[in-house]
Chain A
Amino acid sequence: MSFEATLWLFCAGMGASAAGGMLGMASGLFIVPILTMFFHIDMHAAIGTSIVSVIACSCGGAAMRAGLTNVRLALVLETGTTLGALTGVLLAGIVPVAALNFLFAGVLVVSAWQMFSRREEHADMSRPIPWRGLAAALDLHSSYPDSTLRRDIAYEVRRVPAGLTLMYAAGVVSALLGIGSGILKIPAMDNALRLPIKVSTATSNFMIGVTAAASASAYFLRGEIVSAIAGPVALGSVIGASAGARMLMKVRSERLRLLFLSMLLLVACQMFLQGFGIDLLERAGR
Chain B
Amino acid sequence: MSLQGQDYPVTIAADRDGSDVHFADGTTLRVASNWTPGDQLARLDVGGEGLVLKVGKVSGGFKIRSRGAELKVHVRTPRQAELAKLMPEKVAPDTSKMLLCPMPGLIVTINVEEGEEVQEGQALCTVEAMKMENILRAERKGVVAKINAAPGDSLAVDEVIMEFE
A and B: partners?
A: no
Residues of A whose CB lies within 8 Å of any CB of B are none
